[in-house]
Structure 1
């Protein structure tokens, strides 16, 4: 019975350790995530800057997984080459060793201070940024406290014969130790937590140094498994190269490390002056630095090898399948929402192609373009459903106010684009198809008016896509003004239509009515574009009126009694 309670205590302390790491990571991501992502994107210009950027961002986030997701997003979209992306991952792996170095010192005294400061910041402040930093303080305090409790729980059992026998088996089987630690790091999604745990065992003398070093090698291998599995599930080889390359260089490093373990272990123990915890931390750092030094000079041929292993897919991918909605990024809202925004821009590109096909069908009477456009509407529907599901699946407790605002903007944008596509296919294309089928022709003035409106609509869609990414109030005003332009064009066309009816020009009645229907559809599409991008920005800046109707007191009329 005592054994069961002991195991439960150990499991609880390990869970507290994992939760402390999680709180530190999420707090940093909430506080600095968007700025770190932007900085990382700018720094990925060459391998040197990329290495330093990966190291710095990971040192702050304390998660090579989070940094890897950001880098994979850039690499998968073709925004950054494979060489600097691999360099950034090498830097990220080195960055994870910094917190382990700090924790290798006796900093337990700071645990209650960090928790107290974190709680005060979280409870007493209304500022989101301060509350996020409070989460970081609480997480660090819980991490240190869990280590202290874990060490105290393990102290009485360090001399148990059964425990010695199990650890002796691991000492004789370093490959088994590597596999065990790799499985733990894979399950915990964190090499830091596993290395810190190993460091605690080594400090108590429960794990001999050579076994501890083998476990550290396994933890470094295990943290690369999840990104590789996520990448393997993707159809685009471009998105799979980076996680595979990161896994391969770490696997090669682990293999070499195992062979060199008998030579490295005495040297690391001697340098740490008998402090096993520090020896583990130093070995962890040395391993990742050695990998960086070995692979940095050969990244170019290494990237060519990965390109040969994963050549471009010759098959044309399904345009309705999302490309950027990475399931692994759901735990990182700042990354997940960026992925959703990129997917939303694909919807804008699809709608742009639909407008171009519509204009071609109108100009040349091309029925084939009408059929192609109807198929593209299915693409819009699929992407819209996928993005909505992805954004809605994000944990609401992990979202900041800015995250919630951005998620609302994304959903508003894609919903209006999908409605615009429905109007285009269901109404506008039906009217153009009727015109082609019946051989009707518009007057030169009417044709010119409609083609100009189609071109204007295409320009407004580009403006809406740009505005969706920039939130520029000047662009929002320009796009918002287009609603009045289209409304005025429809009013003028309606008046001209009734003038022709009064003049009894029956031969133009049918084309006049069709002209009027087409203009109405174009106006409705434009209204959705304005609502998709301009209205959220104008409302955010307090420039959106609640009604177009002027109050009675302002128009000079007396209010009704």
Structure 2
């Protein structure tokens, strides 16, 4: 039982370390995510400013993996050249060693102060930024506490024969040690955590110095492998950035592996302390990688393009364009991406609605099939947005973000319903009209075209209301609902008048004509719903449309 308790204590300490790293990263991303992204974009003028920008940003984020995923997103959308993205990554790799250097010192006494200050800031502040900074302080405190707990947890391992025998088997098997460290780092997605674990083992005397250096090499290669594997299903342009980072780290690791003895001697000259050897080698590894490859970023970029060439990809209208998975830790930015994709969905639905009247006028069966295919694309796009919003909601959402989340999800659902009405109802009516060779009367066609044009105009207005949340536009949209109801009544009266006249076209198409108007009105109702939350928040929405009931007049008693 003593051995099981020791293992559980070690695993718990490592888990606490990983959670602390995550809290720091997510806290900084949520507080300064947009600022950090703008900083990277602003620093991408040349390789040296890009290197400095990557170093500064990752020094704050404490995660080169997060920076790699961010750069992959930029490169995938063509916002940053591949060679400049590699320069940023070289700076990011050096930047992530800053946290390892700081945390390798004995700062356990700071842990309760950081946790206390972070909890107070998180619980007492109304400001979202202050709460996120409180999260960062808690994360740093947990990281320092976990390192202290890890040092205590590993003390019994020195007297455990089985564990020491396993380590002895690795003492001269440095290739196996590198592979194990690569797998461990890929599994936890944090080279910082693995390096700090190696430092803790080295300080406790559990691993000899040369083995510690081999494990650090594996941690650095594994830190580059994690983002590359995470982007396995992404666009080719997005995958080239983590591939370039993996190539550079692997080359340096393979070069250094046969020279662990001289490397250890050099690190001993810098600082002979067992605690400092591993962390200093970690920093030296990444500085050497930057010095070697910063002049060669164009060559590495060329090699990545050869290894991952562009592939012709058929344009899929159902593929999302703006749902960036790398900003999910920042709800405000993720909701912005979802909003842009919702506008794309709205444009797809508008194209379907625009083509609807052409189908009724031209009696074209191919156009019916085209709209059916367009609805399939709309359904796929809607599912992608919904899944993205669900992933976003896994983070803490503030009041404003929570309201926006509901608005986006509701509006996308309504747009998807509109697509279904066009495909399942209107196109079925069009197919019936084509199959029976019916034709609307000239007056009926004019009425339907006017009704259709009005709904199409309201769709554009609804998209503007959704984007701007402007109460004046929202009032216009709600007013259009009443106008549409009046237009429906006028169209029905005109149609019934033609029926009384005995117009053959009107008699044949009567049910189709009225069902088309009904479906256009249903579409307009779905569009109008986007205005109500905005008017309700502005206090411009009445509780009920019912007139006030008149009091009953009772007859006098005895009458």
TM-score by length of 2: 0.83
2:557 corresponds in structure 1 to none
* Distance (Å, rounded) in 2 between the aligned partners of 1:467 and 1:38: 28
Q: Give the drift of 1:424.
A: 0.9
1:419 aligns with 2:417: yes
Q: Cα gap change, 1:288/1:336 in structure 2, threshold over 3 Å: closer, same or farther?
A: farther
Q: Cα gap change, 1:474/1:518 in structure 2, threshold over 3 Å: closer, same or farther?
A: same
Q: Give the drift of 1:372.
A: 1.4
Q: Cα gap change, 1:385/1:162 in structure 2, threshold over 3 Å: closer, same or farther?
A: closer
Q: 1:409-462 CA distances to partner (integer Å, 9 max, x unpaired)?
A: 332122111100011112222333344445455566654564465456555545
* Distance (Å, rounded) in 1 between the aligned partners of 2:42 and 2:532: 30
Decide whether the 8 Å contact of 2:447 with 2:491 is kept in 1.
no
1:288 aligns with 2:268: no
Decide whether the 8 Å contact of 2:191 with 2:220 is kept in 1.
yes
1:73 corresponds in structure 2 to 73
1:256 aligns with 2:245: no
TM-score by length of 1: 0.83
Q: Give the drift of 1:368.
A: 0.5
Q: Cα gap change, 1:455/1:62 in structure 2, threshold over 3 Å: closer, same or farther?
A: farther
1:176 corresponds in structure 2 to 176
Q: What SS does the corresponding residue of 1:357 show, helix, strand or coil? A: helix
Decide whether the 8 Å contact of 1:48 with 1:87 is kept in 2.
yes
Count residues in correspondence. 553
* Distance (Å, rounded) in 2 between the aligned partners of 1:405 and 1:7: 45
Alignment gaps of 5+ in structure 2: 554-559
* Distance (Å, rounded) in 1 between the aligned partners of 2:88 and 2:472: 37
Q: What SS does the corresponding residue of 1:24 show, helix, strand or coil? A: helix
Q: Give the drift of 1:519.
A: 3.6
* Distance (Å, rounded) in 1 between the aligned partners of 2:142 and 2:121: 16
Q: Give the drift of 1:351.
A: 1.9
Decide whether the 8 Å contact of 1:357 with 1:370 is kept in 2.
no
Q: What SS does the corresponding residue of 1:224 show, helix, strand or coil? A: helix
Q: 1:513-536 CA distances to partner (integer Å, 9 max, x unpaired)?
A: 6555434323322332343x5444
* Distance (Å, rounded) in 2 between the aligned partners of 1:262 and 1:457: 77
1:242 corresponds in structure 2 to 241
* Distance (Å, rounded) in 2 between the aligned partners of 1:59 and 1:471: 38
Q: Cα gap change, 1:476/1:44 in structure 2, threshold over 3 Å: closer, same or farther?
A: farther
* Distance (Å, rounded) in 1 between the aligned partners of 2:476 and 2:71: 35
1:274 corresponds in structure 2 to 272
Q: What SS does the corresponding residue of 1:207 show, helix, strand or coil? A: coil
Q: Give the drift of 1:371.
A: 0.7
Q: What SS does the corresponding residue of 2:106 show, helix, strand or coil? A: coil
Decide whether the 8 Å contact of 2:74 with 2:238 is kept in 1.
no
Matches within 5 A, 1:405-554: 405-442=403-440, 447=445, 450-451=448-449, 454=452, 457-458=455-456, 460-461=458-459, 464-465=462-463, 468=466, 471=469, 476=474, 479-480=477-478, 482-484=480-482, 486-501=484-499, 505=503, 507-510=505-508, 514-531=512-529, 533-547=530-544, 549=545, 551-552=547-548
Q: 1:373 aligns with which of 362, 367, 371?
A: 371
Q: Cα gap change, 1:492/1:66 in structure 2, threshold over 3 Å: closer, same or farther?
A: farther
Q: What SS does the corresponding residue of 1:177 show, helix, strand or coil? A: helix
Q: 1:34-76 CA distances to partner (integer Å, 9 max, x unpaired)?
A: 5545665676677666555544443333333333333333433
Q: What SS does the corresponding residue of 1:314 show, helix, strand or coil? A: coil
Q: Give the drift of 1:3.
A: 3.2
Larger of the two Rg values belongs to structure: 2
Q: Give the drift of 1:331.
A: 6.6
* Distance (Å, rounded) in 2 between the aligned partners of 1:466 and 1:50: 38
Alignment gaps of 5+ in structure 1: none
Q: Give the drift of 1:162.
A: 6.8
